[in-house]
Amino acid sequence: MLVLRMTAPILPPLRPVLRPLVAAIAPLADEFAAADWAAAEQLIEDALGEQPAAEVARFARFVRVIGWLAIITTGRSVGHLPPARRRRLLERLAGLPVPPVGRRVERLRRLALLGVWGRVSARTVADWRPDPRGWAARGPGDQVRRTPRPTPTALTLVK
Amino acid sequence: MSGRFRYDVVIVGAGAGGGTVAAALAPLARAGRRVLLLERGTRHAPEAAVFDEVRATHASYDHPRVDDDVVRLATGRGVGGSTRVSSGVIAAPGGRSVAAWNVPGLDAGDLEGRLVRLAETCGAHFLPPDALNENHRLFADGAARAGFATGAYRVAVRGCRGAAVCGLGCPNDAVQGTHRVQLPVAEAAGVEVITGADVLAVRDRRLEVRVHAPRPGEPDAPWAPGTHLVEAGCVVLAAGAIGTPALLLRSGLGRALPRLGHGITLHPTQWIAAEHPRPITTDVGHPTSLVLDRSETDGWWLEPAFAPPLATALHLGGMGPRHEAMLRAFPRLQMLRAVAIDRAADGHRVTLDADGEPLVQYRLTPAVRRALVQAQRSATRLAFAAGAVRVHAPAAIEAPLERRDIDHIDARLPIDGERLGPVTAVHAMGGAAMGRDAATSVTDAWGRVHGMPWLRIADASLCPDALGVPPALMVMALADRVAEGVQADGGALAEGVA
């Protein structure tokens, strides 16, 4: 069910930790201009906006905990760690024998990917060229490849 | 209450089950009986905006919570339900499935006739070979070289141009879901369809219905926003394997029906992406019409499939440069989907959370984990045999697998490994199963809820156990039987609302 909450944006106070984590998960974010970050954060905000308030609070708490963990274990803030070390931190958390922590990392991963790859402009990075005309929108090269060679086993079993 | 209405029959849900019941009850509507269908989602218009993955997914799916997030579950929302956002695969289960259900009064021969008729009604057919994309050719060729036999699905599509985004809603409305086939018949006969209508509770032939104000861009709701009371001679629930048990639990029927919510199955699914040295046509053409079927022997099947970039990013697991390199190889990806056939288990059930929303209690059993890894191993062999240079399998240790790993696929994909990767599901079944009595089931073989002859169920929740195929056609067949029972009880309906 859609739960709309009329509250202040969740992400601004989390940015110093969250943005470096997003970029560690999806390196494309390293190339982001301000408008890209705005689009990505809007997608994440919208997704969080549909979560129960308690779940959002847990998410915010988890991001802050990662920020403190980085400082405690490395002496540096998340933003000052190289991306590989940020990822290693997340992977270590995911590998802990405490399933809820692993699930938190997975939720963070999903939100980061949603923000980065959910933007309509991201499809150009993936070179995805969707078109409602389907085959008709493709060039002659694709049209040729449309016709398969005979595949003798392809139609032998009917489910 | 804003309004009070009275109908002979009220159907809840406009997907495979509800749409089929509505069409089958068209003669009742033509005969002057008042038949109403309530759908909580909207009536989607085909549009190019489906290519906005986030927006289209948000508009077309609910994501019921699964405890511990072990599976990311999606159920179709809106007129047509999951049949609108599917690739239109029409697959009949083997007779063994129905026999194994062991439901007294459920005759496999009776179902067979309905499966055949409903498949014809939907226009199910085999795609001609020249309509298949390279993802299919690689699937068939790779399977043949790796020693696997493949089969073909019939698909219910008409005017398919190959936009490939069936899972987001076809921009050409080619998929022949209930929104295209059954519901137009029903509405032409006088069945009323109210969208944006959330059924909060159903008790003693009365439904409490909350109608939502339309979201921006949605058509106006036929009923005013607010809460309405609807009285009915007969209520047919077809809100799906999650929605129907949740509604009945919310209505306080859990005590009278001790099996309510139990025995849910999900068809846990994982995706595999294989990189080829050159671009291939995976993202154009119908996405799924072949199958490598191991359902009877090993509890899984594999099929070619297509997921847009965001879904691919989420389905494949991992993060960082390797993960991104896979996404940047998007035009070169062969994509496959592995589906495990899970068995109804006691601890797997639909419950309610503190807010009254469905919460699915579910664990991936060792048998399902084994099936998913075996399917990934087969997919990896198939893809390398088809010429892939690299395979991204979610359970792989240190993914991706390279060609040099061909002789070590089993070691790289250990059956009992800790890592499994993201699991999704779109085929929820069970939760209000047919059976002998209230101690062991929720309904009889005609979808009549035990002890409540005015209340029927006509959706995937009727399945006592998982099928070995996508369930849409079987759901339609079961719903067709339920509708026949409702028609047979036509006289009693009038008494119900008198």
ipTM given for this complex? 0.92
What pLDDT does residue B215 have?
74
B residues 207-226 lying closer than 8 A (beta carbon) to A: none
Chain B 106-145, residues with CB within 8 Å of chain A CB atoms: 126, 129-134, 136-137, 140-141, 143-144
In 3D space, the residue among A7, A28, A11, A58 whose CA is nearest the CA of residue A121 turns out to be: A28
**CB atoms closer than 10 angstroms to residue A74:** 13
* DSSP character string of chain A: ---------SSGGGHHHHHHHHHHHSGGGGG--HHHHHHHHHHHHHHHHTS-HHHHHHHHHHHHHHHHHHHHHHSS-GGGS-HHHHHHHHHHHHHSS-HHHHHHHHHHHHHHHHHHHSSTTHHHHTT----TTGGGGS-HHHHHHHSPPP-TTTTSEE-
pLDDT < 70: residue spans in chain A: 1-7, 141-159
Q: What is the mean pLDDT of chain A?
A: 87
Residue among A1, A136, A153 minimizing CB distance to B149: A153
Would you tell me which residues 247-286 of chain B have a C-beta closer than 8 angstroms to some C-beta of chain A?
280-281, 283-285
Residue B319: HSE in the Cβ half-sphere, 13 Å Cα cutoff? 29
Using H for helix, E for strand and C for coil, what is the string for B363-431? Answer: CCCHHHHHHHHHHHHHHHHHHHHCCCCEEECCCCCCCCEEHHHHHHHHHHCCCCCCCCCCCEECCCECC
Q: Tell me which residue in B153, B309, B422 faces A122 most closely, judged by beta carbons.
A: B309
Among A106, A131, A145, whose Cβ lies nearest the Cβ of B281? Answer: A145
Q: What does the pLDDT read at residue B493?
A: 65
Query: What are A71's two structure tokens?
Result: 């400082």
Distance CA B444, CA B240 (A): 17
Whether residue A25 and residue B140 make contact (CB cut-off 8 A), yes or no, is no
Interior CA angle at B489 toward B488 and B493, to 5°?
Answer: 140
Other CB atoms within 10 Å distance of the CB of residue B68:
14
Peptide bond preceding B400 in cis form (omega within 30 of 0): yes
User: Is B335 an interface residue toward A (CB < 8 Å)?
Assistant: no
Cβ A155–B310 below 8 Å, yes or no? no
φ, ψ of residue B229 in degrees (nearest 5): -110, 130
The helix (H) or strand (E) run that includes residue B360 is: strand B358-361
Model-wide pTM > 0.90: yes
- Beta-bridge partners for B349: B262, B361
Query: Is A49 within 8 Å of chain B by CB?
Result: no
Q: What is the pLDDT of residue B134?
A: 95
Q: Which of A51, A61, A60 lies closest to A10 in space, CA to CA?
A: A60
Q: What's residue B48's pLDDT? A: 61
Mean per-residue pLDDT pooled into runs of 10, chain B (498 residues): 89 98 97 96 81 92 88 95 96 84 93 95 92 94 96 95 94 96 98 96 96 78 90 97 98 96 97 96 95 95 97 94 96 98 94 94 95 97 98 89 95 88 96 97 98 97 96 97 92 56
Question: Is A15 an 8 Å CB contact of chain B?
Answer: no
Q: Residue B202's closest CA among B243, B170, B173, B242?
A: B243
Which of B381, B187, B313, B204 minimizes the C-alpha distance to A112?
A: B313
* B152/A159 Cβ within 8 A: yes
pLDDT for res B492: 65
- Residues from chain B contacting residue A103 (CB–CB below 8 Å): 68-69
- Among the partner residues A106, A113, A149, nearest to B69 by beta-carbon distance: A106
Cβ-contact B462, B443 below 8 angstroms = yes
Task: Report the chain A residue with the minimal C-alpha distance to residue B354.
Answer: A52
User: What is the least distance, in Å, from the CA of B318 to any CA of chain A?
Assistant: 8
How far, in Å, CA of B106 to CA of A122, rounded?
A: 50
User: What was the pLDDT predicted at B263?
Assistant: 97
pLDDT computed for residue A99 by the predictor: 83
Residue A5: predicted pLDDT: 52
Tell me if residue B84 falls in helix, strand or coil.
coil
Contacts of A86 in chain B (CB under 8 A): none
CB–CB of B44/B84 below 8 Å?
yes
A134 touches chain B (CB under 8 A): yes
Closest CA to B45 of B214, B252, B263: B214
